[in-house]
Amino acid sequence: MMLDTHHTGSAGAAHAEAPEAHGHPTNTGVDNRKFAMWTLIASECFLFATLIGNYLIHKNRGIDGPKPHEVYQIDITTLSTFDLLMSSVAMVLALYYCNARRLRLFQFWTAVVVVGGLIFLGFQYVEFSHFVLKEDLGLSRNIFASSFYLLTGCHGAHVTVGVIWMLAILTTSLIKGEKWFNSTMVEVAGLYWHFVDVVWIIIFTVVYLFVYV
Amino acid sequence: MLASTHSAGYSKTGIWSWITTVDHKRIGILYAVSALLFMVIAGIDALLMRTQLAMPNSDIISAETYNGLVTMHGTSMIFLFIMPLSAAFFNYFTPLLIGAADVAFPRLNALSFWIFLFGGLLLNSSYLVGQVPSVGWFAYANLTLKQYNPTHSVDFWVWGIQILGLASLISAINFFTTILNMRAPGMTLLKMPIFVWTTLVTQVLLILALPVITVACVMLSFDRAFGTGFFDPGAGGYVLMWEHLFWVFGHPEVYILILPAMGIVSEILATASRKPLFGYTVMVYSSCAIGFLGFAVWAHHMFTVGMGPWANALFSAATMLIAVPTGVKIFNWISTLWGGKIRFTTAALYAISFVAMFTFGGLSGIMHSSPPIDTQHHDSYFVVAHFHYVLYGGAVMALFGGIYYWFPKVTGRMMNEPLGKIQFWLYMIGFNVTFFPMHFLGVQGMPRRIYTYAPDQGWNLWNMVCTAGAYLTALGAFLFAINFFWSLWKGKIAGNDPWDGRTLEWSLPSPPLEHNFDVIPTVTHLDEWWHRKYSEDGKRKVMAPAPKFDPSTIHLPNPSFWPIVLAFGILMIGTGFFLPGFGNAIAIGTSVAGALIVLGSGFAWAYEKP
C-alpha cells in the first residue's frame, strides 16, 4: 500500500518505473515511503504498549479457568521465537542481495522470510488450538485468556500482513526478474518485519518469561 | 483500469472524476462538503435537544431519544464536523503553503477520505434503523455492554469510531510525511507558515493517540460480539479501564480539535493586521508544548472517580501547566493585532472572536483543573458551558473564519462580506446567549444529559434563554448556507490575492491549477509571499518576473478508483459485526468478503501506475 510515492512535479520526467532511480530529494533525505513506515511504527508502538499494558493488568484477574503459568509451553514458544528472529536475519540478507542485484539469492532469502513467517503462524495455531482444546481456554473463558489472545492475536495479524507483503514482493520479483530490484520497497517491508519481530521479543519476555519471575 | 488516463486526458468534470480523484485540492473540497453536511445533522440534534429543554416537564421527545441525540450530537460534531473540516484545510492548503505539488501519497489521501465518508455514513445509518447510540460520545463502560444495550446501537458507535480512526491515522501519516519531507527548497522548519506547524503537531497527536482508542474499541467490540469480559466487573474486567483508555485518546483529541483552529486564527490575524505574527517562534514552541502536555492530563476528566490524592495532584498540576503555552498564544494574538492596520473582514471578526471566546473557555478550564472545584462542577451544565466555549466559540468559530478567509482561493469568488458580518454577529450573539447562561445553570446544580427537569428548580428562565440563543445560531447557519451558495454563483471575482496575504497560496491563481506551482518556489523568508511583494520598509517592490515555465515538466498522479473500493472493503469488514441476527455464516461471510476486497484492491493498487 505504500507504493504510491508521488514526487514533486519539477523532477522532470521522473516516472515511477524504478522509484529509487530518480530520487527527487526530500527535505530529510529519507524516502517518503520509508519515512511513512517509521511514522507508522511510532503509532504501532502505542498500539502494542496499550495491548501489553492491558495484558499485564488482566493476566491474574481471571476468575475461573487456567492461570498463565499453567498453560504456557515455554519450549514450543522458545522455538517459535527463534524461528521469527531467524526470519529477521533472512530479511537482512534479502535486502542485501536486492541491493547487490543478485536475483536468485534475493528471491531465495525473500522466500525464507515468507516460510519463517508461516512457521511462526503455524506455531501460533498449534499453541492456540492446544489452549482451546486441551486446556479449555477459549477467548472468553476468562479475562486472562481474552487479554492474552488480543495481544498475541494482534501480533499474529501483523505477521500475517508481513507474510502477504513479502509474498507479493517475491511474486513480483519472480514475474519481473532482473527488471525489478526495488530496494526501497524491500527496505520498507524489512522495517516493518523487524519491528514486528522486536515487538515479539517484548511479548515473549513480558508474557512468557515473566511467569518465572 | 485508468493507467492510460494521463494528465492530458484527465476528465475534469463529472461524478467519476470526483470518485477517482487523487488531487489534494479536490479531496479537501470533498472533506469540507461532507463535514458541512454532517454538521447540519448534528446541528439539528442540538436544536431538538434545546427545544425539549426550553420548558420544564416537556415531552416533545422521549428520554431514550434524548440520550441518542446527546450521543450523536457530540460524536458527530467532533468526528464528523470539526475533525474533517480541519482535514479539509490540511488537504487543500498544506501543499500550497509549503510549496509542494501534492501530498506525499495522493492515493492514500483519497483512501482516507473514502474511509472517513463510509465511517460517517455507517454511524449515521443508525438513525435509519432506529438504533441510535445513546451512551454519550465517551461511551462509558459498562453501559455499553450487551446486557444493557442489546441492540446494535453501540455497535454503530464503536465501528463508526473504529473506521473514522483508521481514516485519521492514514491521513495523519500522510501529512506528517508531507510536511517534513516535501517542503519547497529553502523552507526550513522555522520558515513554515504557522498553520503548517499546528497541522504538524496535530498529526503527531493523531498518530500517537489513535492506536489507544483503536485498542479500546477492539476490546469493546470483542465484549459485545464474542462475550469477553474486558469491561465486565463480573468477569474480572475493569470498568475504569475504558475511562482511562478513552481519555488517553480523548484529551489529545481535544488538542487535535483546537490546534488547527489556532493555526487558522494565527494566519488570519497576521493577514488582517498587516503585520507578521507576533512571536512566531514562541507560537511554534507553545504549539509543541501543548501537544506534549496534552498526553499528560487525561485523568483530569476523572477527578471524581477516586484515583487518590497523588494522581489527582499530578494531573491537576499538569493541567494547570497547559495554561502557560495557551496563555502565551493568547498574548501573541493580541500583540499581533496591537498597532496593526486592522481590516475588520468577516474572517478577522471570526478570528478575533475566537481569541475572546477561547480565553473564556480556557479560564473555566483552569477552574476545572482544581479537583475540589471540579468535583463541584462535574457532570453539571457548567462543564457543558466550558467545553462549548472552547470547541464552539473556539474551534468552530475559527473554522468558519477559515472558510471566509480561504473561500476566494478555493472558488475564485469572494463570499459576501455584509451578509458574512450579519452571520458573524448572529453566531456570536446566538452562541453567547446559548452557552453563557449554562454557567449559571451549572452552579445552580442542573446536571448534564437530563432530558427534562421539574419546574420548581429555578432553571426555567435560563433554559428558555439558552434555547432562544440556539435558534439565533440556527438562523446564522441558515444565512451562512445562503451566503455560501450565492457567493459560489454570484460572488465578486476574487483575483489571486484579495487579502494582501502573506503566504504562498496567495501567489497562485484562484482557484489554483491542478499542478499547483508552475515552478516550485525557492523560499528565503517566513511569510515568503509578503517579502516578495514588499521591501523591509513596507514599500511595494517590483516583483521579479515569473520564472520560465515548461509544461512538460509537470507530472500529475493518475486518478484511481482503488481507494474507494478498498475503503468499501473496510466498511464491509465492520458491517459483518451487525449481521449475526441473519445467521453467523452471513455475518462472517460479509466480513471475510470485505477482507478479500481489501486484499484484492490493495494488490491492484500496488501494481497500478501511480
Nearest residue, CB atoms, A168 vs list B108, B237, B606: B606
The pLDDT value given to residue A4: 41
Residue B550 banded pLDDT, cuts 50, 70, 90: confident
CATH number for the domain spanning A82: value is 1.20.120.80
Question: Which residue of chain B is at minimal alpha-carbon distance from A65?
Answer: B235
Same domain for B588 and B529? no
Residue B520, min C-alpha distance to chain A (Å): 7
What 3-state class would DSSP assign to B26? helix
Classify residue B560: in a domain, yes or no: no
Say what the alpha-carbon torsion angle B484, B490, B495, B496 is, to the nearest 10 degrees.
30
Count Cβ neighbours within 10 Å for each residue of B42-76 and write b for 16 or more, e otherwise.
Answer: bbebbbbbbebbbeeeeeebeeebbbbbbbbbbbb
Let me know if residue B569 belongs to a domain: no
Residue from the list B177, B556, B599 with its beta carbon closest to the beta carbon of A32: B177
Q: Does the residue B7 lie in any domain?
A: no
Inter-chain touch A13–B219, beta carbons under 8 Å: no
Average pLDDT of the segment spanning B336-354: 95
pLDDT band at A24 (very low <50, low <70, confident <90, very high): low
Is residue B8 in some structural domain?
A: no
pLDDT in the model for residue B107: 95
CB contact under 8 A, A26 and B181: yes
A36/B211 CB distance under 8 A:
no
Same domain, yes or no, for B260 and B312?
A: yes
In a domain, B157, yes or no: yes
Range of the domain at A62: 29-212
Residue of chain B with shortest Cα separation from A52: B215
Residue of B nearest to A146 (CA): B228
Residues B466 and B592 in one domain: no
Distance from CA of A68 to the nearest CA of B (A): 15
User: Which residues of chain A does B520 touch, with a Cβ-Cβ cutoff of 8 Å?
Assistant: 8-10
Chain A touched by B517 (CB under 8 Å)? yes
At B11, the pLDDT band (50, 70, 90 cuts) reads low
Task: Say yes or no for a CB contact (<8 Å) between A1 and B108.
Answer: yes
Q: What is the pLDDT confidence band of residue A22, given thresholds at 50, 70 and 90?
A: very low
| Residues of A in Cβ contact (< 8 Å) with B106 | 4, 6
pLDDT of residue A8: 38
For residues B169 and B208, give the distance between their C-alpha atoms in angstroms, rounded to a whole number. 9
Q: Determine the Cα–Cα distance for residues B610 and B593; give it in Å rounded to an integer.
A: 26
Lowest pLDDT segment from A125-129, A145-149, B51-55, B547-551 = B547-551
pLDDT tens string B178-231: 999 999 999 999 999 999 999 999 999 999 999 999 999 999 999 999 999 999
Position B573 confidence tier, pLDDT thresholds 50, 70, 90? very high
Query: Is residue B467 domain-shared with residue B590, that is, in the same domain?
Result: no
Q: Do A143 and B106 touch (CB under 8 A)?
A: no
| pLDDT score at B6 | 40
> Do A168 and B215 lie within an 8 Å CB cutoff?
no
Same-domain pairing of B301 and B354: yes
Q: Residue B606 belongs to what domain range?
A: 579-610
User: What pLDDT digit, counting tens, does each position of B364-391 carry?
Assistant: 999 999 999 999 999 999 999 999 999 9
**Which of chain B's residues have a Cβ under 8 Å away from the Cβ of A62?**
236
How many angstroms away from the CA of A171 is the closest CA of chain B? 11
d(CA B166, CA A153): 19
Dihedrals phi, psi of B447, to nearest 5 degrees? -75, 155
CB contact under 8 A, A32 and B226: no
* CA neighbor of A117 nearest in space, from A169, A166, A186, A182: A166
Q: Same domain for B168 and B275?
A: yes
Residue A150: list chain B partners with CB under 8 A: 218-219, 222
Interface contact B555, partner A, CB < 8 A: yes
Q: Residue B188 belongs to a domain with what CATH number?
A: 1.20.210.10
| Helical ranges in B369-450 per DSSP H | 371-377, 381-390, 397-411, 417-443
CA–chain centroid gap for B609, Å, is: 32
Residues B301 and B448 in one domain: yes
**Strand runs (DSSP E) across B206-303, as ranges?**
none
pLDDT band per the 50, 70, 90 thresholds, residue A65: confident
Note the pLDDT of residue A13: 34
Residue A3's pLDDT is what?
Answer: 40
- State which residue of chain A sits closest to B607, comparing Cα positions: A3
Total structural domains within chain A: 1
Q: Is the dihedral of CA B509, B515, B518, B520 positive or negative?
A: positive
Distance CA A145, CA A125 (A): 15
B115 at interface of A, judged by CB pairs closer than 8 A:
no
Do the chains contact at A58 and B237, CB–CB below 8 Å?
A: yes
Residues B310 and B203 in one domain: yes
* Structure confidence at residue B5 (pLDDT): 36
Prior bond of B124 cis (ω within 30°): no
What average pLDDT does range A173-183 have in this prediction?
A: 91
Considering the domain architecture, whether residues B343 and B246 belong to the same structural domain is answered as yes
| Ranges A106-115, B220-229, B305-314, B550-559: which has the least confidence | B550-559
Does residue A13 lie in a domain region? Answer: no
Q: Do A15 and B222 touch (CB under 8 A)?
A: no
Q: Classify residue A8: in a domain, yes or no.
A: no
- Within this chain, do residues B189 and B97 fall inside the same structural domain, yes or no? yes
Q: Is residue A18 part of a domain?
A: no
State the pLDDT confidence band at A114, using cuts at 50, 70 and 90.
Answer: very high
Residue B6 domain-assigned?
Answer: no
Q: Is residue A12 part of a domain?
A: no
Q: Give the A:B interface size as CB pairs under 8 Å.
A: 150
Q: Which residues sit opposite B540 in a β-bridge?
A: B534
Helix (H, G, I), strand (E, B) or coil at B312: helix
In chain B, the number of structural domains is: 2
For B20-60, write each residue's pLDDT tens digit: 999 999 999 999 999 999 999 999 999 999 999 999 999 99
ipTM surpasses cut 0.90: yes
Comparing CB atoms, the residue among A7, A39, A140 nearest residue B227 is: A140
Q: What is the pTM of this model?
A: 0.93
Gyration radius of chain B over CA positions: 24
Interface contact A50-B603, CB threshold 8 A: no
* Residues in A touching B215 (Cβ below 8 Å): 47, 50-51, 54
A182: in domain: yes
Quick check: is A3 in a domain? no
A-chain residues near B212 (CB < 8 A): 46-47, 50
Look at B105 and A32 and tell me if their CB atoms are within 8 Å.
Answer: yes
